[in-house]
Structure 1
Amino acid sequence: MASATCALCGVRSEGKELPLTWVTSVEDGHKLVYCDRCARENLRSIEVKLDSVYW
């Protein structure tokens, strides 16, 4: 796997593996990943399964 890119802010992971602190989500059939900062800032929206468009 190549380095991952946060779907919200665009920051890239440093290694080839997805960091354990990053969050994965499936929205409209697409797998998205969010960095730890964006995941923390939008935790409530993630928990109620709101698509990132509504964050």
Structure 2
Amino acid sequence: MLPEIPAEEIKRNYMSLYHSHILQLAEEGTVTYNQGQELIALTERDEQLASIQNQLMR
């Protein structure tokens, strides 16, 4: 069972992700972001980067 996380902490983390990371990742083409539906999806570019990272970690 997951511990309950206070709503204020969730909001703080959401705002940090939104303002600091999601928009930058979308600008770089790593993710697509639909603000109206609050959906984030990986792009093909992110899958390529993950593949390269996995090869480097071997």
TM-score normalised to the size of structure 2?
A: 0.25
Query: Which has a greater percent of helix?
Result: 2
TM-score (norm. length: structure 1): 0.26
Structure of greater relative contact order (alpha carbons < 8 Å, 6+ residues apart) = 1
